[in-house]
Structure 1
Amino acid sequence: MTRVISTVHCDADAASSSLTGSALKGVRSVVAAPENEMKRWRRIFEANAKVVIDGEKYLDPDSFVNAIAPKIDSTKIGRAQFAILFRVADSSKRGLVSWDDFTVFETLLKRPDADYWIAFQYFDVDSSGTITYDEFKNVFLANVGPSAIPFDFDCDWVKLYLGRKNGTHVLGYNEFTQLMKGLQGERLRQAFKYLDKDQDGFIRPEEFKQIILEIAGHKLSDAVIERLPTLCTLTPSGRISYSEVVAFQNVIREMDMVERILREATAKSKDGRIDQSDFLNHSAAISRYALFTPMEASIIFHFAGRGSREKRLALLDFAQLLDPQWRSPHEILEVNEVRPKASFLQGVLKSAYSFVQGGIAGAFGATIVYPIDMGKMQNQRSTVVGQMLYKNSIDCAQKIFRNEGLVGFYRGLGPQLIGVAPEKAIKLTVNDLIRGRAMDPETGRIKLGWELIAGGMAGGCQVIFTNPLEIVKIRLQIQGEAAKLEGAVKNGAAHIVRQLGVLGLYKGASACLLRDIPFSAIYFTAYSHLKKDVFHEGYNGKQLSFLETLGAAGIAGMPAAYLTTPADVVKTRLQVEARQGQTHYKGLTDAFVKINKEEGFKALFKGGPARILRSSPQFGFTLLAYEYLQKYPWQDNKLEVKTALTTPKRDEMSQIRARNALKILLDVHGDFGRRAANFSHPLVKQATPTTSPSKSA
């Protein structure tokens, strides 16, 4: 529903300068903007413009904020504070933003220095392209409350930038950016001097908190703000020195660099934890000069360690310092309501779902690579006692296709899919369960020994399903070609199961254990380290892509498959039904000895390349499917440190620059924007209703 508002009368000078030189330059550059970008701007404008005057749409302050504010923000800047930027976009100072105004503003946001440029335009009240002493002072005072710590505009620092002689010195854009960069430091110096009444070089803890809230409150979490007074515990005096105040401000100003150092140092640490020495050493290693002093490092570890500066800290310990929106776990539970403890039925359903996950993932991987499995040569005897059916894997595939067609490549797939669900479910579940129990909950690290144990136990547990599955699969596979040569009748899986019996289904189980335990131990350990050390999963919040996950899972399967080939060869020989004239094996050791004696050591690695070609992509696709299926609704959220450095850039770059412009203004005083409703622009008169709206409004 549209509405019509009254016009706003402005000074004649303001009306005549509705488009400044910089704005006109912006309009001209709009013409060169890509057509798709103009269409996107138009869609945003049309979706939010609710004010209609004489058939033309306009944005009021609320709808303007909806149009330009980031949808997802990791800072504490409120959406209402984006109304500050409305004063820049409303170049005609009429209380409305037209389509032309909006395109000029969006073009402005495309500048690489848009944050400083917007701040400059906000202080440049008369749109002259320069900022005078009076403009700087008036805009500053209009945006701070009466209870704010006073700022001395007659100080030497201001005079160095703006001067006072004849009031002729003004700031151009470049000079203004330097003034803004150093303003917070001067405000901090003046605030400390103002509060240090007896001039002994110390202030009380509550006074320190007042200073920080005014100039950096929007950059700190509530938990850190509450603990600001505890900075006094770093020294025996019980009060806070100027050095400590400056050191704290430097930490906040360089928070992005602090976070990068913490993430890199904890990632390289063996236990995922660091102390102050580790922090300073890594800081020195990545820069030409020391970035942080020992006092600054002490402050970082003081607030992260909640007063205990001696212990080694994990990245999660620094979360409340790095993330302005950080809340303690009990606060999150209070907001989202405490979740009831999972019932027995929920536990059963969760376990059942895990089996479904494993089944789907396993079936997916097995189906894709099953034809490769037919190319294995492990059962072919290379001595005179056997028949040489195939020259190599390619010859094997050609003969299967010629004699049995495409169906031959999928012979035995049914039992494989029936058995693969519990097999993969128990394998993946056991590995995850043991790793979860052995993992440090704060660092997410697990010792190498426990990684091998978790993988090995997972491989051992799956044998209860894999052994019967594979003995049926192997016999189904080999009977197809043999039937063609010998004229034998092919039997189904049910016949083979009845023929073998329960005990027969576990023939060769010792070899199966010998294969699956080391395979899983090698595979899961390699997969974990490939994701973390090669593809850098979790580094600065990185999530692996489809190809990276598939690559890590596939590469991990190569050494695991080849190194366990001898056990797989022996298992296959023990499980297959030997034909007349072929060697019979009494057991695991006998098979190893006879294969080595009759066919040579190389025979133990027969089919190794084909095993790599099968196992590598199979487990690659299986783990890929499992990774995606694992994101079930009741999955416990992993403890992660998510900040502006790790949050995906879902917002447009223009919205990010708009937010950064607000940060520059909020560094002047935390009340910027909150007082916007009470702040009348110096060149704009109060709105007065008119009897009829006009287009010229």
Structure 2
Amino acid sequence: MDFLAGCIGGAAGVLVGHPFDTVKVRLQVQSVDKPLYRGTFHCFQSIVKQESMFGLYKGIGSPMMGLTFINAIVFGVQGNTMRLLGRDTPTNQFLAGAAAGTIQCVICCPMELAKTRMQMQGTGEKKSKRKLYKNSLDCLLRIYNREGMRGINRGMVTTLIRETPGFGVYFLAYDVLTRSLGCEPDDPYMIPKLLFAGGMSGIASWLSTYPVDVIKSRLQADGVGGVNQYSGIADCVRQSMKQEGWRVFTRGLTSTLLRAFPVNAATFATVTLFLMYMRDEEEGKDCEPNPSRSLQQQQPQASSL
């Protein structure tokens, strides 16, 4: 049940937020010498004008493809970690979320690599505008054939650095907000409260790790034109700082935060409401779970792993 709820909630989040993610990646990796976009809204307009609305959904196959596995890992690990930790405290919520974030990187990193490469297709000079990849799976296969497992896992270290604390903050923030807002089953404002808590949790998570995401995107997009610009994480940080200053670590932040709120509002609210409905059907009104507890606090009752 948790597995199905996570898949439905994750799918809702991907559909809502992928256009914002495409804009974020384009802004993060564009050339500082010849920028294609002046900002978030100009990037949106340019993509729609040049590539139609479908351009905003480039690379969506990769996150959809990894959705089932990622949600199974996240919900299963988080639920089982909360069981092992025993007590439901804010610290344990953070630790359980961090554990889930760490484990799911195995799927997340290759998925985001394919997504980034697909999103970068058709950008830059005319010679690079031909389509290199048919779809996300074709992208991963081509990278594997050229670079092996190391190529498939490009950006793994930065993904770990981003996801481990990011998921900890994510689940901690949702738990604290739902408790503070006092969400109750008979509250007429329960759904708006869940949407607000989920959206703000997403924003808090991104703000806590965004500079690392910029470096990850640059490393995963490196080599798209056939030439590798960075030799590693430190080199990427050094070159980025030298060419663009500290503001490089905020590039695409507006698009990311605009995306984070609706995506995570949709994801958390969908999952929480689905679990409430299904458990109400199974257990009856007397055993109805309390939505003021975070989704992850409900997980140990029926973990997917």
**What runs of 5+ residues in structure 2 fail to find an aligned partner?**
291-305
Any idea what SS the aligned residue of 1:585 has? coil
In the alignment, is residue 427 of structure 1 matched against residue 74 of structure 2? yes
Is 1:550–1:621's contact at 8 Å kept on the other side of the alignment? yes
* 1-structure distance, mates of 2:274, 2:51: 35
Is 1:357–1:630's contact at 8 Å kept on the other side of the alignment? yes
Is 1:562–1:609's contact at 8 Å kept on the other side of the alignment? no
Residues 55-102 of structure 1 deviation map (CA, whole Å, 9 limit, x = unaligned): xxxxxxxxxxxxxxxxxxxxxxxxxxxxxxxxxxxxxxxxxxxxxxxx
Residues 564-587 of structure 1 deviation map (CA, whole Å, 9 limit, x = unaligned): 111111111111143569772222
Task: Specify whether residues 629 and 486 from structure 1 end up closer, same or farther in structure 2 by C-alpha distance, changes over 3 A only.
Answer: same
Q: Which residue of 2 aligns with 1:624?
A: 269
Q: Which residue of 1 aligns with 2:253?
A: 608
Q: Which amino acid aligns with 1:536?
A: G
Paired residue total: 278
Is 1:411–1:477's contact at 8 Å kept on the other side of the alignment? yes
After the TM superposition, which residues 34-45 of structure 1 pair with which residues of structure 2 at under 5 Å, given as runs? none
Q: Which residue of 1 aligns with 2:40?
A: 393
* 1-structure distance, mates of 2:214, 2:163: 13
TM-score of the superposed pair, with normalisation by structure 2: 0.82
Q: Which has the higher contact order (CA 8 A, sep 6+)?
A: 2
**What is the Cα deviation at residue 639 of structure 1?**
8.1
Residues 229-269 of structure 1 deviation map (CA, whole Å, 9 limit, x = unaligned): xxxxxxxxxxxxxxxxxxxxxxxxxxxxxxxxxxxxxxxxx
Any idea what SS the aligned residue of 2:28 has? coil
Any idea what SS the aligned residue of 1:389 has? coil
**What is the Cα deviation at residue 485 of structure 1?**
6.9
Residues 3-38 of structure 1 deviation map (CA, whole Å, 9 limit, x = unaligned): xxxxxxxxxxxxxxxxxxxxxxxxxxxxxxxxxxxx
In the alignment, is residue 528 of structure 1 matched against residue 175 of structure 2? yes
Is 1:497–1:505's contact at 8 Å kept on the other side of the alignment? yes
**What is the Cα deviation at residue 589 of structure 1?**
2.5
**What is the Cα deviation at residue 590 of structure 1?**
2.4
* 1-structure distance, mates of 2:195, 2:55: 28
Residues 258-295 of structure 1 deviation map (CA, whole Å, 9 limit, x = unaligned): xxxxxxxxxxxxxxxxxxxxxxxxxxxxxxxxxxxxxx
Q: Which residue of 1 aligns with 2:203?
A: 558
Structure 1 range deviating more: 368-377 or 509-518:
368-377
Rg (Cα) greater in structure: 1
Q: Which amino acid aligns with 2:91?
A: G
Residues 629-659 of structure 1 deviation map (CA, whole Å, 9 limit, x = unaligned): 223345794788xxxxxxxxxxxxxxxxxxx
After the TM superposition, which residues 110-259 of structure 1 pair with which residues of structure 2 at under 5 Å, given as runs? none
Q: Which residue of 1 aligns with 2:57?
A: 410
After the TM superposition, which residues 227-626 of structure 1 pair with which residues of structure 2 at under 5 Å, given as runs? 353-376=1-24, 377-382=27-32, 384=33, 387-440=34-87, 446-482=88-124, 486-492=128-134, 493-501=136-144, 502-533=149-180, 535-537=181-183, 545-578=190-223, 584-626=229-271
Q: Which residue of 1 aligns with 2:299?
A: none
Q: Which amino acid aligns with 2:236?
A: A
**What is the Cα deviation at residue 362 of structure 1?**
0.5
Task: Specify whether residues 614 and 485 from structure 1 end up closer, same or farther in structure 2 by C-alpha distance, changes over 3 A only.
Answer: farther
Is 2:59–2:119's contact at 8 Å kept on the other side of the alignment? yes
Any idea what SS the aligned residue of 2:78 has? helix
Any idea what SS the aligned residue of 1:610 has? helix
* 1-structure distance, mates of 2:111, 2:225: 25
- Higher helix content, 1 or 2: 2
Task: Specify whether residues 598 and 464 from structure 1 end up closer, same or farther in structure 2 by C-alpha distance, changes over 3 A only.
Answer: same
Any idea what SS the aligned residue of 1:481 has? coil
Task: Specify whether residues 581 and 407 from structure 1 end up closer, same or farther in structure 2 by C-alpha distance, changes over 3 A only.
Answer: closer
Q: Which amino acid aligns with 1:547?
A: P
* 2-structure distance, mates of 1:622, 1:439: 26
Q: Which amino acid aligns with 1:499?
A: R
Q: Which amino acid aligns with 1:556?
A: S
**What is the Cα deviation at residue 481 of structure 1?**
2.9
Task: Specify whether residues 413 and 561 from structure 1 end up closer, same or farther in structure 2 by C-alpha distance, changes over 3 A only.
Answer: same
* 2-structure distance, mates of 1:532, 1:544: 14
Is 1:562–1:611's contact at 8 Å kept on the other side of the alignment? no
Q: Which amino acid aligns with 1:570?
A: I
Task: Specify whether residues 488 and 521 from structure 1 end up closer, same or farther in structure 2 by C-alpha distance, changes over 3 A only.
Answer: same
Task: Specify whether residues 505 and 543 from structure 1 end up closer, same or farther in structure 2 by C-alpha distance, changes over 3 A only.
Answer: farther
Task: Specify whether residues 580 and 474 from structure 1 end up closer, same or farther in structure 2 by C-alpha distance, changes over 3 A only.
Answer: closer
Aligned-pair identity (%) = 26
**What is the Cα deviation at residue 465 of structure 1?**
1.1
**What runs of 5+ residues in structure 1 fail to find an aligned partner?**
1-352, 441-445, 641-697
* 1-structure distance, mates of 2:257, 2:237: 21
Is 1:357–1:425's contact at 8 Å kept on the other side of the alignment? no
**What is the Cα deviation at residue 592 of structure 1?**
2.0
Task: Specify whether residues 613 and 505 from structure 1 end up closer, same or farther in structure 2 by C-alpha distance, changes over 3 A only.
Answer: same
* 1-structure distance, mates of 2:225, 2:123: 16
Superposed CA RMSD: 2.6
Task: Specify whether residues 574 and 488 from structure 1 end up closer, same or farther in structure 2 by C-alpha distance, changes over 3 A only.
Answer: same
Is 1:519–1:561's contact at 8 Å kept on the other side of the alignment? yes
TM-score of the superposed pair, with normalisation by structure 1: 0.38
Q: Which amino acid aligns with 1:480?
A: G
